[in-house]
Structure 1
Amino acid sequence: MSRHRLPYAAGLGPSERDPLPVAGPPERRVLRRETVLLLGVSLGASAIWAVLSIIDKLTRQTPLRQQTTAMNQSVTPDRPWLDLAYQLTGAALQVVPVVLALFLLAHVHRPSPAVGPARFIGFDRTEPFRDLARGAGLAALIGVPGLGFYVLATAVGINTNVSAANLTDVWWSAPVLTLAAIANALIEEVVMVGYLFTRWRQISWSWPVVIGTSALIRGTYHLYQGFGGFLGNVVMGLVLGYVYARTRRVMPLVICHALLDIVAFVGYSVLKARGISL
Structure 2
Amino acid sequence: MERGVLYICPTPIGNLEDITLRTIRILGEVDLIAAEDTRHTIKLLNHYDIKKPLTSYHEHNIKEKGTELIEKLSSGQNIALVSDAGMPGISDPGQELIRQAIDEGIEVIALPGATASITALVISGLSTEKFIFEGFLSSKKGERKKELDKIKEYTKTTIIYEAPHRLMNLLEDMEDILGDRQISISRELTKKYEETFRGVASEALEKFKDSGVKGEFVIIVDGNHETKEVEEIDIGQLLRQFIEEGLTKKEAVKKVSEEYNVPKNLVYKESIRISEKL
More strand by share: 2
Structure 1 or 2, whichever has the larger Rg, is 2
TM-score of the two chains, using structure 1 as the length reference: 0.21
TM-score of the two chains, using structure 2 as the length reference: 0.21
Relative to its length, the structure with more helix (as a share) is 1
